[in-house]
Amino acid sequence: MASSAAIDGVAAAALRSVMQRVQLAAQKSGRVAHEIRVVAVSKTKPVSVLRQVYDAGHRCFGENYVQELVEKAPQLPEDIEWHFIGNLQSNKVKPLLTGVPNLAMVESVDDEKIANRLDNVVASIGRKPLKVLLQVNTSGEESKSGVEPSGCVELAKHVSLGCPNLEFCGLMTIGMLDYTSTPENFKTLANCRTEVCKALGIPEEQCELSMGMSADFELAIELGSTNVRIGSTIFGAREYPKKQSN
């Protein structure tokens, strides 16, 4: 699918199908589709295929690896909103922020150390405050990154009150190891949002929930997701020619 996508429009057609499914899922839960952001997750895919999805009208793309994003971003239009959704190491923060001026959001802040590093680098390079989501480990798997649900409030307080160059925007979760989430994973994230918003004194509408991927985004929307991360359903199966590093 991916190899021919740039030629025959497969990815653009798949995007249109996803957007229709988002609209239907939103209607089913009494919501409107424009409240839900679709992040087209383009890791391992060539710029030509991203360009096709861009030309179909999409502007929000997500990447998991710093090096890949830093290489792709300059080859594509500046009005793209890039989301970084992978595990972020402290030594990769400066290359990411300097290499991608149109980075819109980091969805994977999972401890105070990475929050502090992002805050310091944003200040040092003089860019506008960076939007961030806190990654929560809702499945309890040791292999997953993310703050434990019990630590959500403290980390949210740290980012909101102690990191003036970051804008706390909400919470993110990946779900189970096979990338399908149970309703319990999503409900855990929604419960975290309730606690965080109460602690920070903000309405829940101001706190995003990034949950739902190709296999489960419709369920996630029904359970309140405002940000779904769709990769293979748009771009086809991933291609890993060699081991990627963050």
Domain assignments of the chain as residue spans, ordered by start? 1-230
Query: What is the C-alpha separation between 12 and 10, in angstroms, rounded?
Result: 6
Which single residue is written with the structure tokens 């952001």? 37
The pLDDT value recorded for residue 176 is 67
Tokens representing residue 95 in the block = 């290359």
Block mean pLDDT (10 aa), the chain, length 246: 54 96 97 96 95 97 98 98 97 98 98 98 97 94 89 98 98 73 86 98 97 92 96 87 56
The CATH-assigned architecture of domain 1-230 is Alpha-Beta Barrel (3.20)
Task: Provide the token pair at 184.
Answer: 């319990």
